[in-house]
Structure 1
Amino acid sequence: MMKAQLLLPVAVVLGAAVLSSLFIVDEREKALVLQFGQVKQVKEEPGLGFKIPLIQEVVKYDARILGLPTQPLEVTPLDDRRLVVDAFARWRITDLVEFREAVGVGGIDAAQTRLDRILNAAIREVLGAVPSNRVLSEDRTALMNQIRDRARAESGALGIEVIDVRLTRTDLPEQNLAATFARMRAEREREAADEIARGGEAAQRVRATADRTVVELTSEARRMAEVARGEADAERNGIYAEAFGRDPEFFAFTRSLTSYERALQSGNSSIVMQPDSEFFTYLRSDVAPADRGVAPAAAPTPAPAAPAPTTAP
């Protein structure tokens, strides 16, 4: 009975010692076994682990990918337009021993504080070397990759790896919005004025070309018309000459009829001439003027109108 009473406390102590020497590592964790602050064992695989009770201790760290949002940061790009930038980084622990030596007992919180400073420096360095329009354009992805690479290189000494960096916000400071909008408006108005001026110059060139073409076409048309008119006159004179040569009497008769038509077409005309004038040759007789030895009648000249009577005062 006495032995049983003595063995029971011993069994309890031994059981407690065995239990305190065991530890479990979850699949989401990594663990270090420390002895008086020195790393004695690294446990990265999930499962059961062992340590010396009272002498060794177990420190566990999150093995998952962690996120770190940065505070709003004001940067000045190459064109001196200030921007307010927010970023978000994803990182994880890759070397437990190096991580422990770098951050000590501060753990994850200390690592995030140091990583935040590294990210801020990388953001300022990368965005400060480019104009603001690149930050706001499709080049944004390339800039984020540069920030990630710089932060990854700087944070490697902490035993961590920066997996990705994203710029979540890139805005203008509130106090700069009005001035920036005014400058953008002025630039757009200047571009519009330049486009209008170039359009006016192009329109003037087109108009001058059209006017020159009109003048050239008109001159050419007039020249061709004069040529055609000259050819027609020459052909007409040739026809007249040929007709006169074939039948001079008929030609004289035709000319006389034309003279009659011109002289008598106005009902108000008064003609003063002698009755035996050659003008009445074809009206007075059936004998042609050629038989009488006379030329075809020429159109008489109308007599001038008598002056109006005046009343004596």
Structure 2
Amino acid sequence: MNRVGFIASSLLVALALLSSMMFVVDQRQYGVVYALGQIKHVITEPGLNFKLPPPFQNVSYIDKRLLTLDSADAEPMLTLEKQRMVIDWYVRWRITDPQAYIRNVGLDEAAGANQLNRVVRNAFQEEINKRSVKDILSHKREALMAAVKKEVLEVVKGSNPWGVDVVDVRITRADYVDAITESVYRRMEAERKRVANELRSTGAAEGEKIRADADRQREVTIANAYREAQKIKGDGDAEAARTFSDAFGRDPQFAQFYRSLDAYKATFAKKSDVMVLDPSSEFFKVMRGSGTAPAAPAGKK
């Protein structure tokens, strides 16, 4: 029984020892093997690997993927005109040489991110100091980002290389600080109001001009129509007078009789009308029958 237990214990120890000597490197990682605190070798290919058991050799892993570093500092930067602006940015970077990275930067990705954040911010501050707000907000922003990337690469690949590569540097936001932003918004609002008032004034003046022109055309049109109407009316009155004159000139007695009838019609327009006249007045001459009767037409008795 003791022999069986000894064999089982030996197998467990052997398995534990074998397990401590085996390790797997993922395709997303570098495997760094240390021998008594010194880097023995770096495994870049994924798969199963072997090493000496601890404490003779240990293994650590470093990410080999493309990493993203976002700006975490909201401290404003000064432009060429001494304007205070807040710049948000991000950097895409990766570890290319694990040995150089561990020796010069740190044991993990966080150490590289901290140092890279400082370098990128200094590069942005230096480049923004050379440029105006207009350059930062216009198409010249691409030149700004390219210059920052160049400066960062000069640092990380300089005389003491970090073992990293900076793939891209981008600005995500460029804005004034809150106090200046509020002032800018107020100026923009005032400018928009000024333009709106100017447009309203111009529109009102143009409206008055159009209304005045329409009123003038209306008066001219009415005057021309009235003149034409009076002319037509005068021509009609003249034609009517000529017609009456021709008709009454042929028979004066009939003309007098017709005019007397018109006078009676106008005088006795209502039943309640009362007139006080001298019976011998010429006004009732036709009604009394004392007037001269109209001459009978030729051929009639």
* TM bracket (short chain): 0.5 to 0.7
The secondary structure found in structure 2 opposite 1:231 is helix
Q: 2:251 and 2:60 mapped to 1: Cα distance?
A: 141
What amino acid maps onto 1:154 in structure 2?
Answer: E
Q: 1:218 and 1:80 mapped to 2: Cα distance?
A: 69
CA contact (8 A) 2:70 2:91 kept: yes
Task: Say if 2:97 is the partner of 1:96.
Answer: yes
Q: 1:240 and 1:197 mapped to 2: Cα distance?
A: 63
Q: Give the corresponding residue for 2:74.
A: 72
> CA distance change for structure 1 residues 226 and 80 in 2, over 3 Å: closer, same or farther?
farther
CA contact (8 A) 2:77 2:87 kept: yes
> CA distance change for structure 1 residues 164 and 174 in 2, over 3 Å: closer, same or farther?
closer
Q: Give the corresponding residue for 1:153.
A: 150
TM-score, normalized by length of structure 1? 0.59
What amino acid maps onto 2:64 in structure 1?
Answer: A
What amino acid maps onto 2:166 in structure 1?
Answer: E
Deviation at 1:80, TM superposition (A): 6.8
The secondary structure found in structure 2 opposite 1:199 is helix
Deviating more after overlay: 214-223 vs 79-88: 79-88
Instruction: Count the aligned residue pairs.
Output: 258
Q: 2:185 and 2:246 mapped to 1: Cα distance?
A: 90
Q: Give the corresponding residue for 2:63.
A: 62
Deviation at 1:76, TM superposition (A): 5.0
CA contact (8 A) 2:90 2:171 kept: yes
The secondary structure found in structure 2 opposite 1:239 is helix
Match 1:162 to one of 160, 167, 182: 167
Q: How does 1:182-261 map to 2 (within 5 A)?
A: 182-260=186-264
> CA distance change for structure 1 residues 204 and 65 in 2, over 3 Å: closer, same or farther?
same
> CA distance change for structure 1 residues 118 and 257 in 2, over 3 Å: closer, same or farther?
same
What amino acid maps onto 1:46 in structure 2?
Answer: P
Q: Give the corresponding residue for 2:11.
A: none
Can you list the C-alpha shifts for 1:188-219, whole angstroms capped at 9, x where unaligned? 33233223212312321232232123212212
Instruction: Give aligned-pair identity as a percent.
Output: 29
CA contact (8 A) 1:115 1:155 kept: no
Q: 1:259 and 1:79 mapped to 2: Cα distance?
A: 101
What amino acid maps onto 2:67 in structure 1?
Answer: L
Q: 1:238 and 1:76 mapped to 2: Cα distance?
A: 101
> CA distance change for structure 1 residues 288 and 232 in 2, over 3 Å: closer, same or farther?
same
Q: Give the corresponding residue for 2:9.
A: none
What amino acid maps onto 1:163 in structure 2?
Answer: D
Q: 2:23 and 2:142 mapped to 1: Cα distance?
A: 40
Q: 1:80 and 1:239 mapped to 2: Cα distance?
A: 99
Runs of at least 5 residues in structure 2 that lack an aligned partner in the other structure: 1-19, 52-57, 157-163, 296-301
> CA distance change for structure 1 residues 205 and 150 in 2, over 3 Å: closer, same or farther?
same
CA contact (8 A) 2:149 2:166 kept: yes
Q: 1:45 and 1:152 mapped to 2: Cα distance?
A: 29
Deviating more after overlay: 255-264 vs 241-250: 255-264
Q: How does 1:7-26 map to 2 (within 5 A)?
A: 26=26
Deviation at 1:146, TM superposition (A): 5.2
Can you list the C-alpha shifts for 1:74-132, whole angstroms capped at 9, x where unaligned? 14568876332332322223x539x939x952245357524543355347746944449
Deviating more after overlay: 263-272 vs 186-195: 263-272
Deviation at 1:222, TM superposition (A): 1.0
Q: Give the corresponding residue for 2:160.
A: none
The secondary structure found in structure 2 opposite 1:87 is strand
CA contact (8 A) 2:91 2:167 kept: yes
Q: How does 1:279-294 map to 2 (within 5 A)?
A: 279-288=283-292
CA contact (8 A) 1:33 1:59 kept: yes
Deviation at 1:265, TM superposition (A): 7.1
What amino acid maps onto 2:247 in structure 1?
Answer: A
The secondary structure found in structure 2 opposite 1:256 is helix
Q: 2:49 and 2:149 mapped to 1: Cα distance?
A: 32
Q: 1:161 and 1:177 mapped to 2: Cα distance?
A: 32
What amino acid maps onto 2:66 in structure 1?
Answer: I
CA contact (8 A) 1:88 1:165 kept: yes
Q: 2:66 and 2:82 mapped to 1: Cα distance?
A: 36
Can you list the C-alpha shifts for 1:158-204, whole angstroms capped at 9, x where unaligned? 3512335352x555434435534433342233233223212312321
